[in-house]
Amino acid sequence: ISLILLLDEKSIRDADIFPSSPEIERGSTLKLFCVLGKHYTPQRNASHIIWKLNHELIAQENYNIVNETVSSVIIHNFTYNKAHVKCFIKYLGKEQLLVHTEVKSGFPPDTPGNISCIYYFNVELTCNWTSGRETNLTTTYTLYRKIKTESCSFRHPNIPFSTSFCFQVKAQNVLGEAISECVPITMESIEKFEPPEILSVKKIAGIKQLLTVTWKIPEDILPAQYLNCQVRYRNLYSNSSEIDNVAVTSEEKVVSLNLTGLWDSTEYSVAVRCIGVESKFWSEWCREKTASTEDKAPSGKVDLWRIINSSHPAGNRPVHLMWKLLGNIPHPGRILGYKIQYFPENNAALQMTKITTNKKIVLPLKEEAYIISVTAYNSAGSSPAAVLRIPSTDEKQLLTFSVKFLAPEIIETVRTFTTNEEMIVEWITSEPEVTEYVVEWYEELETDPFSRSWQYISNSTKWKANKKIFKPFVCYNMSVYPLYGDKVAAPYSIQTYVQEKEGPVADTDVLGKNEVVIKWEEISKDKRNGFITNYTIFYKPEGGKELNETVNSDVLHHRLKSLQANTQYTVYIMASNRAGGTNKEDIIFIAIPVGLSMFFLLGLWITCILKKHM
């Protein structure tokens, strides 16, 4: 009150509020004063003042009339983070806002703890600490570094090196202050380097499975100390890395290390980081550099397969060759290209050679039998040859590009089934001495021979693959080929789905008289979503009972007999497979009795109702 009474009258506006923008401790009592200016007197005085907290009226028992121009209010247990207290004048039933202030509540600061620092030599010193609970008030923190009994705040570049520092943090706001203990921290223990710089990663001519890494130590580090460096390296065919450790001193400016036991003909990615032996902080990894080891001739054969097309009238037949590198460990490494050699089986003197960097090629062969070999090569040599025999056109083989299911001889039967994770193909053979097979698969509607997939199988009559490599609801052709050395015998082929679903919609024609012949078109293969097992025709006279008749999957029309004349019928058709399904919209026709053939062409939707296979 004395503060208000001592104010110069000229400093008082039409109304004022004291204290302005106070910050108080959470849960404490708040007391504010509202002072009327001369503009409002004598008609109005402090008894006309009312108070609101945000938009809520404060009870009058919390008011106090100090004098004719000053009213005070007390708010007990103030727990708002932030609120507005408003002073109004109420006169002749009307409220007028005079003045308001924002009030914040919070807490005095807790003692800072867990002080930690990182020191970049000759660059910066950064410290962190925990501040305790949130004060909700403006709080300043001051970091002190102390040497013996001296204390001061400091900034770069005035950061002298010493091992006898301790660090202290003071937190302060309007409610008080708290000072942490002075925590001793040696500069060596908190130093963090800039990343080293790799100068080179090189192979040494004539030495295989080795790379030499040379890097430069960072310049801005504490002098006269020991360092540890780590060299991380990874071949580009692997997701895992190897790490070698190297001990150096800060006086060494350039360091080298030989990486040994690497894969031949393989590119490696290399990075380096360093740390002082007394420090807790590694530098960041430097930017990676790559280099390749000395080449070695590929040691494994390529995985070779072929698709044989029908002969052209001129006597040529395109043979699609495709191959892939086997997933050997170590990886075969860098491949520069592939050499394809082929000649008639009865005349090796007519050998032809082609070179390609692709993993596929089309060869225009005559109708006689051919021997084909494919090798992979790099600067050090070539791989062993993968050899296949292409039979002559008069041999019993699967010769056409379109699917032909020939009578099996060596393989008696093939079946497919799925589990939650896998597609499984099993077969029975009549020739136990056959121990190697090729499983080939592709989408039934696929016309590109190079889109086929294959896998060689040895000493087994079962093949498993992850279901994810197959598309759901798509029909696949699966073939199993027996192998005799470089000869490929006739396959056993079947069709399969990895997953089936409800059948699709097809089109139909309805031909009508007393007896109605319903015709429908065969559903295209790309819309079946499964193997069609039968068709069911449902028909129902208006107000009558629904009837149905079922026909085989190879039947595409059906005659409905003994229909009621001049009667409206509702009809729909189900094309069923093994997965179950739903109905489609109904189509209506009227049976009209006439002696001659009078036909009404109506559109009829066909819905594939996919019945669960039992």
What is the number of residues in the chain?
A: 614
Q: Which pLDDT score, from 0 to 100, does residue 603 have?
A: 32
Q: Report residue 600 CA to chain centroid gap.
A: 56
Does residue 453 come out as left (phi exceeding 0), alpha (psi in the -120 to 50 range) or beta? beta
Write down the pLDDT at residue 553: 80
Residue 218 has pLDDT above 80, yes or no: yes
519 and 582 both lie in a single domain? yes
> How far apart are the C-alpha atoms of 276 and 187, rounded to whole Å?
11
Looking at 216-225, 272-281, 342-351, 444-453, which range is the least confident one?
216-225
- The DSSP result for 406-432, as a single string, is PPPSSEEEEEEEE-SSEEEEEEEES-T
Cα 462 to Cα 368, 430, 486: the distances in Å are 33, 15, 21
Q: Are residues 319 and 384 in the same domain?
A: yes
Please answer whether residues 304 and 323 qualify as being in contact, where contact means their C-beta atoms are separated by less than 8 angstroms: yes
Asked if pLDDT for residue 29 goes beyond 50, the answer is yes
| pLDDT level of residue 162 (50, 70, 90 thresholds) | low
Tell me: cis bond preceding 42? Omega within 30 of 0 counts: yes
pLDDT digits (tens, 9 = 90+) for 488-500: 888 999 998 888 7
Query: Can you name the residues that pair with 215 across neighbouring β-strands?
Result: 198, 255
Residues 167 and 124 in one domain: yes
Structure tokens that stand for 606 in this block: 């066909």
DSSP 368-392: S-EEEEEEEEETTEEPPPEEEEEPP
The 10s digit of each residue's pLDDT in 368-383 is 999 999 999 988 889 9
Least confident of 36-50, 243-257, 340-354, 589-603: 589-603
Given 190, 223, 245, which residue is the final one in a domain? Answer: 190
Residue 9 located in a structural domain? yes
DSSP assigned state of 612 = B
Task: Report pLDDT for 611.
Answer: 32
User: Is the residue at 397 inside a domain?
Assistant: no
Judged on CB neighbours under 10 Å (0-12, 13-18, 19+), 237 is: middle
Residue-level pLDDT at 225: 84
Same-domain pairing of 185 and 208: no
In terms of domains, do 287 and 359 share one?
no
Q: Who wins on pLDDT, 202 or 331?
A: 202
What pLDDT does residue 324 have? 92
What's 64's domain CATH number? 2.60.40.10
Q: Which of the four pLDDT bands, split at 50, 70 and 90, describes residue 37?
A: confident
Residue 612 within a domain: no
- Torsion sign across C-alpha atoms 356, 361, 364, 369: positive
Please determine, for residue 601, whether its predicted confidence score (pLDDT) is greater than 60.
no
Specify whether 7 is located in the same domain as 72: yes
Q: Across residues 256-274, what is the average pLDDT? A: 93
pLDDT greater at residue 268 or residue 507: 268
CA 371 to CA 389: how far, in whole Å? 5
CA distance 99 to 459: 94
Q: Do the domain assignments include residue 531?
A: yes
Q: Which two tokens stand for residue 48?
A: 């006309």
In a domain, 399, yes or no: no
Bridge-based pairing state of the strands 94-106 and 23-25: parallel
Structural domain harbouring 170: 113-190
Residues 225 and 285 in one domain: yes
Which of 470, 497, 524 is the last residue before a domain boundary? 497
What does the alpha-carbon distance between residue 318 and residue 316 come to, in Å, rounded to a whole number? 7
Strand (E) or helix (H) holding 5:
helix 2-5
Residue with more model confidence, 190 or 504:
190
Q: Indicate whether 402 belongs to any domain.
A: no
pLDDT at 406: 38
Residue with tokens 């923190």: 141
CA atoms within 13 A on the CB side of 382: 12
Does 304 or 221 have the greater pLDDT score? Answer: 304
Q: What average pLDDT does the segment 241-269 reach?
A: 92
- Does position 159 have pLDDT exceeding 80, yes or no? no
Asked if 581 and 515 sit in the same domain, the reply is yes
- Look at strands 606-607 and 567-576 and give their pairing: parallel
SS3 per residue for 200-235: EEECCCCCCCEEEEEEECCCCCCCCCEEEEEEEEEE
Backbone angles phi, psi at 44, to 5 degrees: -120, 150
Residue 404 forms part of a structural domain: no
| Percentage above 70 pLDDT, the chain | 82
Look at residue 529 in the predicted model and tell me its pLDDT.
64
In the chain, DSSP finds a helix count (H) and a strand count (E) of: 2, 49
Q: What span, in angstroms and rounded, lies between the C-alpha atoms of 293 and 210?
A: 6
- Average model confidence (pLDDT) across the chain: 82
Same domain, 30 and 101: yes
Q: Which of 64-68, 328-332, 403-407 has the lowest mean pLDDT?
A: 403-407
Residue 339 neighbours by CB under 8 Å, 6+ apart: 353, 354, 355, 374, 375, 377, 382
Q: What is the pLDDT of residue 161?
A: 53
How many domains is the chain partitioned into structurally? 6
Distance CA 106, CA 79 (A): 9
**Higher per-residue pLDDT: 185 or 521:** 185
Picking from 267, 292, 317, the residue at the C-terminal end of a domain is 292
- Same-domain pairing of 285 and 205: yes
181 to each of 126, 177, 206, how far by Cα in Å?
Answer: 18, 14, 63
**Residues 508, 601: Cα–Cα separation, whole Å:** 10
Please report the pLDDT score of residue 329 as a whole number. 61
Do residues 247 and 158 touch, judged by C-beta distance below 8 A? no
> Average pLDDT, stretch 521-527?
66
pLDDT band with cut points at 50, 70 and 90 for residue 502: low
Three-state DSSP class for 101? strand
- Residue 494: is it exposed, middle or buried by C-beta count within 10 angstroms (0-12/13-18/19+)? middle
Which has the higher per-residue pLDDT, 432 or 421? 421
E-strand stretches of 3-152? 15-18, 23-25, 30-36, 49-53, 56-57, 63-65, 70-75, 82-91, 94-106, 113-120, 124-130, 140-147, 150-152
CA distance 387 to 184: 74
| For residue 397, pLDDT beyond 70 | no
HEC secondary structure over 151-213: EECCCCCCCCCCCCEEEEEEEEECCEEEECCCEECCHHHHECCCCCEEEEEECCCCCCCEEEE
The pLDDT of residue 583: 43
Share of the chain above pLDDT 90, in %: 50
Distances (CA, A) of 588 to 257, 367, 508, 571: 86, 58, 13, 6
Same domain (yes/no): 40, 66: yes
Q: Are residues 52 and 29 in the same domain?
A: yes
| CA–CA separation, 140 and 306 (whole Å) | 77
Dihedral angle over CA of 197, 198, 199, 202, nearest 10: 180
Q: Is the pLDDT of residue 405 over 60?
A: no
163 found inside a domain: yes
At residue 402, the pLDDT reads: 32
For range 263-271, the mean pLDDT: 92
User: Which of residues 60 and 542 earns the better pLDDT score?
Assistant: 60
